[in-house]
């Protein structure tokens, strides 16, 4: 497996693969890889001849008071994991390789990026769309892989690809885990279970026939509030495509939440299909 640090090297290698008629999959990550990433990389290895994993802690998707500096990193462990699964290349650029000092071109999105996480993280999705577009332009993959845990991000990337006519298949994959779990101490880790309990409760209500978004949200909020260490950012039910709030739970709907456990902001969700 190759470790590559410049855009030029990626382009040369991908061109060589293309000349051999090989297909290319891209798994964009910010590093500190976990089972969720491993599952995406595995899927990519199954579906493509060559897989590039990008490990880039993208500064433009973090707000000024967010956790860019504290975000966990372990590049050597990331490389070992990628190699063991069969990735062909890890692309690990410096921020200066991705953003010139006078960088001023952004890919932004209306509507979908204004709800849920976009409300409390106003520049986040502009940074995500911009860096993902750049990675798509650099790697030119046939397929790109994203976790379903970040359901809003996945919906936004699918829409960006459709709206901007990008010739890339977007593949979503289900394993729920977050690199931010590493911030939690033992007590917080226990408290964080309240998120999956609330998801379980909401899901069960919908399966049992509840169609009122307000009723489902209220029950989930009550559940989360039963945990003293939890502070709700949002609990919301939105249309699965437009990410706009709905009153009735009628598929496709995404029921999503962001909850602070101590200083750590965690997200979770379930999808009604």
Residue 234, helix vs strand vs coil: strand
93 binds ligand PAF (CB under 6 A): no
Among 176, 146, 157, 161, CA closest to 257: 176
Q: Looking at 13, 58, 133, 264, which residue binds ligand PAF (CB under 6 A)?
A: 58
Q: How many residues does the chain have?
A: 273
Residues 142-171 that bind ligand PAF (CB under 6 A): 150, 153
Answer for which of 25, 28, 93, 172 binds ligand PAF (CB under 6 A) is 28
- Least distance CB 253 / ligand PAF (angstroms): 22
Sequence-distant (≥ 6) Cβ neighbours of residue 234 within 8 angstroms = 116, 119, 120, 256, 257, 258
25 near ligand PAF, rule: CB under 6 A: no
Binding flag, residue 78, ligand PAF (CB under 6 A): no
- State yes or no: residue 132 binds ligand PAF (CB under 6 A): yes
| Residue 141 near residue 25, CB atoms below 8 Å | yes
CA–CA dist 120, 114 (Å, integer): 9
Q: How many residues bind ligand PAF (CB under 6 A)?
A: 10
Query: Is 92 among the residues known to form the active site?
Result: no
What are the beta bridge partners of residue 55? 29
DSSP state of 245: B
- The residue (of 74 and 210) whose beta carbon lies closer to ligand PAF is 74
| Residues that bind ligand PAF in the complex, under the rule CB under 6 A | 28-30, 58, 61, 128, 131-132, 150, 153
Residues classed as catalytic: 37
């Amino acid at each position: 497996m190759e470790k590559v640090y410049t855009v030029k090297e990626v382009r040369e290698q991908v061109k060589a693969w293309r000349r051999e008629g090989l297909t290319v999959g891209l798994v964009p990550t910010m590093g500190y890889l976990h089972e969720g990433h491993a599952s995406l990389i595995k899927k990519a290895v199954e579906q493509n001849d060559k897989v590039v994993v990008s490990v880039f802690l993208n500064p433009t998707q973090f707000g000024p008071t967010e956790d860019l500096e504290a975000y966990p990193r372990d590049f050597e462990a990331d490389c070992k994991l990628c190699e063991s699964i069969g990735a062909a290349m890890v692309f690990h650029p410096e921020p200066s390789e991705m953003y010139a000092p006078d960088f001023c071109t952004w890919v932004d999105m209306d509507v979908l990026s204004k709800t849920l996480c976009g409300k409390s993280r106003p520049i986040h999705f502009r940074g995500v769309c911009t860096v993902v577009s750049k990675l798509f332009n650099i790697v030119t993959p046939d397929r790109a892989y994203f976790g379903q845990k970040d359901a809003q991000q996945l919906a936004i990337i699918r829409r960006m690809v459709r709206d901007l006519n990008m010739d890339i298949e977007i593949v979503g994959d289900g394993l729920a885990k977050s690199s931010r779990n590493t911030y939690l101490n033992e007590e917080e880790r226990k408290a964080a279970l309240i998120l999956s309990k609330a998801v379980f409760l909401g899901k069960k209500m919908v399966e049992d026939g509840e169609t009122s978004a307000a009723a489902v949200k209220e029950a989930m909020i009550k559940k989360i509030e039963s945990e003293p260490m939890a502070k709700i950012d949002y609990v919301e039910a939105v249309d699965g495509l437009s990410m706009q709030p709905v009153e009735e739970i009628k598929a496709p709907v995404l029921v999503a939440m962001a909850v602070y456990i101590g200083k750590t902001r965690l997200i979770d969700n379930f999808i009604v299909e």
